[in-house]
Chains A and B, each alone.
Chain A
Amino acid sequence: MTARSAVRRLWWYVRELSGETAYDNYLAHRRGTHPTAPVLTRREFEDRKTTPAIRCC
């Protein structure tokens, strides 16, 4: 694996883990399954989350 591809993989991992790609993934999913249906805006997408993830001790 070259250094460049290692950095690219790490960047991909960090973006996925941090949730930065969550909205893009949602859009991609909607485009793939219901191309003509309306989608949530980024703000509506974020506001759907009213409960945080449970964090353990």
Chain B
Amino acid sequence: MNTVTEDSPAPEAPRTGPDPKQIAIWTAVSIAGAVAWGVLALSRGEEINAVWLVVAALCSYAIAYRFYARFIARRVLRVDNRRATPAERLENGIDYHVTDRRVLLGHHFAAIAGAGPLVGPVLAAQMGYLPGTMWIIIGVIFAGAVQDMVILFFSMRRDGKSLGQMAREEIGPVGGVAALVAVFTIMIILLGVLALVVVNALAKSPWGTFSIAMTIPIALFMGLYLRVLRPGRVIETTVIGVGLLLLAIVGGGWVQDSSWAAAFTLDPRTLVICLAVYGFFASVLPVWMLLAPRDYLSTFMKIGTIALLAVGVLVTMPVLQNEAVTKFASTGTGPVFAGSLFPFVFITIACGALSGFHALIASGTTPKMIQKESQVRLIGYGGMLMESFVAVMAIIAASLLDPGLYYAMNAPAGVVGSTFESAAQAVSNLGFTITPADLAAASAAVDEETLVARTGGAPTLAVGISEIFSGVLGGDALRAFWYHFAIMFEALFILTTVDAGTRVGRFMLQDTLGNIWKPIGRVSWLPGLWATSAVVVGAWGYFLYTGVTNPLGGINQLFPLFGIANQLLAAVALTVATVILVKSGRLKWAWVTAVPLAWDAAVTLTASWQKVFSDDPRMGFFAQRERFAAALDRGEVLAPARNLDQMREVVTNSTVDGVLAALFAVLIIIVIGDGARTCVRALRAREPLSTTETPFVESAIVAPAGLIPTAQERQELAAAGDRGPR
């Protein structure tokens, strides 16, 4: 129990006078950024080059990292390099391990960035490229990156405690239980929605299905190779795996044209069963057999493809076809998801701007591996800026598409039908144009039977990526290859999230139930292991199944819930951070986390309110339920449902979704209310309230804070006799 050290001022570096070179550089960066933002803001109606988005993003990130992140690290958090980190104090060579800052940045980035920053921006492109881009850039600077860095710091000061533990110990038992429920629920919704993205990408695509199916034998082979033949040769194994993976993508093209095509042309319902069976086995098999090799593959592909995408955008400098702000931003009648710009852009784009899920990673393995306190700025704030840049590239890729094609792909099947003709008609009803012939040509260009109603964001992004990559390499001849490469890459790391998430969820459930009935908590007791795995798979499998069969469109219905759940977790994280700041006597800096918290609460509660209470059946879950239930009583069938069974499905789904939206809102209010209570108590108390920060221990490590050591840090390193990487 220690509050004194958190209060004590951090050592200030000796102040030096302004450096003219620094002033010149930062003035230039500011001017470049301002010009780029100006171009984005002022151009209306004319076509705009994607490079302006990239320049605006990079300049904003640089300024935020240089000034705001530094201010937070020094003044608000008071990082103290004299203090030993948990990695140094508790080093055991296994989970607590002092890790080079550049390596840890790579680990942390690979853990936070996945399908989220790619899918959300694609869907939000319905509002135009501008609202999404602005939220991604401004949101990350003032909310997302702040959350990641602050939680990383507070967890590091508490030996790497998890977000749930910190909520219980710093806020109180009520907030703690609400946080635990929030973590488990978001996990289930997240897995269901991500699996839905994969199913939508693979349904009726023998090429994609074959390639993804092959990743399972490839991973098993890699697991055995690494375990038995060449222990410890991770890179060698990964190179072989990636080679086999590329072969599987090429092979998918052959399968598509062969007599095997029928065997790999699967109905979405069949894919749901396949995914559930896969998730169950991934949860019960040893990690080395399936999960570890898949993780190697997926990390390699993720970093490689993101780097390739950045290069592709800069080389091809594509022109955006999307409008800056579409009419759906104000009318709220967009086909991809219902609702107007506020609050739904801020719900749809979570990862890349503000993602609560990151708080789980920032309070997981990363704080146990960090070398110096000052490195939280690079790893927490810098890592999140990198993810935000991925989101900017995703919105660029989606905005390259002709709007007609975008809506034909992303509107639910209930709106666009299943033929090129019906889709072209529906798109013109929305106020855009595309001919059936153009739709057929776009589908043929990527060797897919149809691109109509391929919702979920992955196929849209894949078309955008194939556009960019084929501009760099291969031209039209490789367009279909690049499309399936992109599908494979997204499906691969979504499945890595699904299998790892199922296993993590199973451990959480075993841990919680173990408090009630001991045997189930034992990780080696097989019946308990199978039962809890089945419960977790069953839970996300339920949402996946309803998403696939819902006549109203699974993404349309479930994605807002996923966004609300993710932002709910962000509210928990920001509340924990604000409470700690107030309890440790830093009320004057509490706005750093309290302002993003207020914004996040406003967005999430407005969205939940509209989803629960709106009278518009397209928006409110209960209004939707009323409408379909009333028709069902009269024995009528309402479009897009086609029979009474589908009518009943809609009624059940809307009820479940509405209850969940209400539950999320209640949880947010409980957590923030309990946090406010603790803050008031802290401010009224004569003695400072106890926090759980670990006591000060002197550090013996000398290491730079940022990516590139400063001149002063070089001197310190030389004095300490550091030889650098060996």
Contact = CB atoms under 8 A, between A and B. Distances in A.
| A and B form one complex | yes
A49 interface: yes
The 6 A-B pairs of least Cβ separation, nearest first, read A57-B116, A29-B93, A26-B93, A20-B234, A52-B500, A16-B103
Contact of B500 (A9, A18, A26, A54): A54
Interface in A1-44: 9, 12-20, 23-30, 33, 42-43
B210 interface: no
Given A25-B93, A52-B291, A56-B113, A13 B103 contact: yes
B250 interface: no
Contacts of A23: 232
B94 A56 contact: no
B357 interface: yes
A26 to B, nearest CB: 4
A13 B725 contact: yes
B628 to A, nearest CB: 30
22 contacts: A13-B102, A13-B725, A17-B106, A18-B296, A19-B296, A20-B233, A20-B235, A28-B93, A30-B93, A47-B286, A52-B504, A53-B365, A53-B500, A54-B364, A55-B298, A55-B496, A56-B111, A56-B113, A56-B351, A57-B114, A57-B116, A57-B355
A53 B111 contact: yes
B372 interface: no
Contact of A52 (B194, B287, B726): B287
B358 interface: yes
B726 A12 contact: yes
Given A19-B234, A20-B232, A56-B357, A50 B113 contact: no
B115 interface: yes
B292 interface: yes
Given A20-B235, A55-B497, A48 B94 contact: yes
A56 B355 contact: yes
Contact of B107 (A17, A42, A49): A17
A6 to B, nearest CB: 12
Nearest to A39: B93
A14 B235 contact: yes
B635 interface: no
Nearest to B298: A55
B438 interface: no
A23 B231 CA distance: 10
A55 B493 contact: yes
A18 to B, nearest CB: 5
Contacts of A29: 91-93, 97
Contacts of B292: 46, 49, 52
A49 B361 contact: no
A27 B94 CA distance: 10
A29 B92 CA distance: 7
A28 B117 CA distance: 38
B422 to A, nearest CB: 32
Contacts of A45: 94
Nearest to B231: A42
A57 B296 contact: no
Contacts of A9: 725
Secondary structure at the B interface, as helix, strand, loop or mixed, is helix
A56 B112 contact: yes
B194 A57 contact: yes
B268 to A, nearest CB: 21
A17 B106 CA distance: 7
B381 interface: no
Interface string B271-295: 0000000000000001110011001
A47 to B, nearest CB: 7
B100, B111, B232, B358 interface centre (most CB from chain A within 10 Å): B232
Interface string B486-527: 000000010011011101100100000000000000010000
Contact of A51 (B100, B232, B300, B503): B503
B145 to A, nearest CB: 14
Contacts of A24: 232
B524 to A, nearest CB: 9
Contacts of B53: none
Contacts of B299: 18
Contacts of A49: 287, 292
B297 to A, nearest CB: 11
Given A52-B500, A55-B496, A56-B497, A18 B235 contact: yes
Contacts of B725: 9, 12-13
B559 to A, nearest CB: 11
B439 interface: no
Name, among A18, A26, A28, the residue most crowded by chain B CB atoms within 10 Å (CB to CB): A18
Contact of B116 (A18, A52, A56): A56
Interface centre among A9, A18, A54 (most CB of B within 10 A): A54
Contacts of B94: 26, 45, 48
Nearest to A28: B93
A12 B227 CA distance: 22
Contacts of A47: 286, 288
Most buried by B among A33, A43, A46: A46
A12 B496 CA distance: 26
A12 B504 CA distance: 30
Given A13-B725, A29-B97, A57-B116, 8 more contacts: A20-B235, A24-B232, A43-B231, A46-B227, A46-B288, A50-B287, A57-B497, A57-B566
B322 interface: no
